[in-house]
Structure 1
Amino acid sequence: MTIPAFGLGTFRLKDDIVIASVKTALELGYRAVDTAQIYDNEAAVGQAIEESGVARNELFITTKIWIENLSKDKLIPSLKESLSKLRTDYVDLTLIHWPSPNDAVPVAEFMQALLEAKKEGLTRQIGVSNFTIDLMQQAVDAIGVEHIATNQIELSPYLQNGKVVNWAREHDIHVTSYMTLAYGKALKDEVIGGIAQKHNATPAQVILAWAIKLGYAVIPSSTKRENLQSNLHAQTLTLDKEDMAAIAALDCNDRLVSPEGLAPDWD
């Protein structure tokens, strides 16, 4: 099973706003939806999916286990609660959202619990998010690399995360990019604007096409129908070597997501 290259993110979207976003996206042809326990929108996402009428077997649903639920006695019950909210018997992918702060729950404990959830059929695939090289190695040591479907990390033209990406690639761990548009900051970049003009595309399409060409899965979010529609066209936009080199040169290690008390020691 592969991770879809293109999906819908739902971070910071709640209630009627997330319901509208998910329904519109599914209507436009999106088939992958990414949520998380801490987003407090799983129930709304589940409602939107059910009301969309799209068959469950056509969808790829991802959720993420919050840090309070990482211990072996809490992880599976919390995932079952997520399934109930999402109105489904299983999710396609379950990620550890953040590593346990100060290693309060060891990596081996939560990865083995997550693998057990997979064996029980609660999730088709499992993976990690916001993991450094050291944490990925610990996860591999705990359950074997063949069980780790992806590492979902912040990745944008301004934070290209080369060390983590290269290690993941060498170990056949797929990379999912979040915050790909750098909170919209990269949409105003002159270099990206020039590439967009050259291809008669939008800056968002250029950035998403760049990430897809590098082999990453992307999960942009939007509440606007025209943006949801437009973003889809990134999948058919082909950037040339010059475009890719120009975007590569924008890397400046500009990390936007590093919550105090939660973030690991980044590579």
Structure 2
Amino acid sequence: MTAIPTLTLNNGVQMPQLGFGVFQVSDDDTTAAVSAALAAGYRSIDTAAIYGNEAGTGRALAESGIARDELFITSKLWIADLGYEATLAAFETSLDKLGLDYLDLYLIHWPAPGLGKYTDSWLALEKLLADGRVRAIGVSNFLPEHVQKLIDLGGTVPAVNQVELHPALQQRDIGAFNTAYGIATEAWSPLAQGALLDEPAILEIASRHGRSPAQVILRWHLQQGRIIIPKSVTPSRINENLDVFGFDLSADELAVVDGLERDGRTGPHPAEFNG
């Protein structure tokens, strides 16, 4: 099994730096995809209530025979369940679908600032953390202004902020804010849904290293110290995305990838999206 490095979150929990995402994968297909990922050596799986595939993920986990303490499982609270009591109920539903006794990481999926409820949900996540139902809590798609409101509550600082992040959308302001507060930055859509795989600069670096363009982009993320969760349902790609620890990009090569920023957002803007 490929040795996947871990990052220490701000509460001391160890999280694999490379995980497996199941966004836009059907529940039935998720079981096969997660099973393939676990067989390849992934131990961190990222799902969400809105994906509709927590049950499929849970089936793969149960069938794997892998000890629970070797796995790192993340799920996310959907916007429709924002609010204190609704969050607690939604967490139990997710846990039941996954067939687990606890989660390793639970995230608020979007701040939905127009609803004004995410601080209430954060208080619910803090209760789940205190009760031992989850090992770490965090957020997804939060801008610095949204995270600051949570910090200002005076309780738990989020352990993770998972945001869209890839060479075409590098979110440097969010990354700097997260670093200042000891929050790990996790990239969803780390490959920009494949939009950068034909980028000439990426192709040139890939050729130099005898690697695929996807491997170059994932390596760039890892050397920047981020957590990444690439997604694929193709076993060969699942294995390829894991095989990114046998080479390093030079400082010059990292700078070339850094130069691909173009505000290339593929998902909604967190300031505007309310579900």
Q: For this structure pair, what is the TM-score category when the shorter chain's length is used for normalisation?
A: over 0.9
CA distance in 1: counterparts of 2:99 and 2:113, whole angstroms: 30
Structure 1 residues 60-69 or 95-104, which shifts more? 95-104
Aligned pair 1:132/2:143, yes or no? Answer: yes
Change (3 A) 1:143 1:9: farther
Which is richer in helix? 1
Tell me which amino acid in the other structure corresponds to 2:121. F
Specify the SS of the correspondent of 2:101: coil
Residue number among 162, 167, 173 corresponding to 1:163 in the alignment = 173
CA distance in 2: counterparts of 1:212 and 1:75, whole angstroms: 32
CA distance in 2: counterparts of 1:243 and 1:199, whole angstroms: 11
Structure 1 segments (4+ residues) deviating >4 Å: none
Residue number among 166, 171, 177 corresponding to 2:187 in the alignment = 177
Aligned pair 1:98/2:126, yes or no? Answer: no
CA distance in 1: counterparts of 2:163 and 2:249, whole angstroms: 23
Change (3 A) 1:46 1:81: same
Name the residue aligned to 1:15.
27
Tell me which amino acid in the other structure corresponds to 1:136. V
Give the CA deviation at 1:265.
5.3
Give the CA deviation at 1:236.
3.0
User: Unaligned stretches of 5+ in structure 2?
Assistant: 1-12
Give the CA deviation at 1:100.
2.8
Conservation of the 8 A alpha-carbon contact between 1:180 and 1:220 = yes
- CA displacement 1:132-160 (0-9 Å, x = unmatched): 0100111111254x541110000000000
Residue number among 35, 55, 63 corresponding to 1:51 in the alignment = 63
Name the residue aligned to 2:271.
264
- CA displacement 1:17-44 (0-9 Å, x = unmatched): 1111100000111000000000000011
Tell me which amino acid in the other structure corresponds to 2:56. A
Residue number among 204, 218, 237 corresponding to 1:208 in the alignment = 218
Residue number among 82, 95, 110 corresponding to 2:94 in the alignment = 82
Q: TM-score, normalised by structure 1?
A: 0.94
Aligned pair 1:222/2:232, yes or no? Answer: yes
Conservation of the 8 A alpha-carbon contact between 1:115 and 1:143 = no
Name the residue aligned to 1:6.
18
Q: State the percentage of identical aligned residues.
A: 38
Change (3 A) 1:149 1:97: same
- CA displacement 1:42-78 (0-9 Å, x = unmatched): 0110011101111111000000000111111111111
CA distance in 2: counterparts of 1:14 and 1:162, whole angstroms: 32
Name the residue aligned to 1:245.
255
Name the residue aligned to 1:118.
129
Specify the SS of the correspondent of 1:142: coil
CA distance in 2: counterparts of 1:26 and 1:143, whole angstroms: 38
CA distance in 2: counterparts of 1:142 and 1:237, whole angstroms: 43
User: Unaligned stretches of 5+ in structure 1?
Assistant: none
How many residues matched? 261
Conservation of the 8 A alpha-carbon contact between 2:112 and 2:272 = no
CA distance in 2: counterparts of 1:265 and 1:104, whole angstroms: 13
CA distance in 2: counterparts of 1:137 and 1:75, whole angstroms: 20
Tell me which amino acid in the other structure corresponds to 1:195. I
Give the CA deviation at 1:15.
2.3
Tell me which amino acid in the other structure corresponds to 1:239. L
Aligned alpha-carbon RMSD (Å): 1.4
Conservation of the 8 A alpha-carbon contact between 1:191 and 1:246 = yes
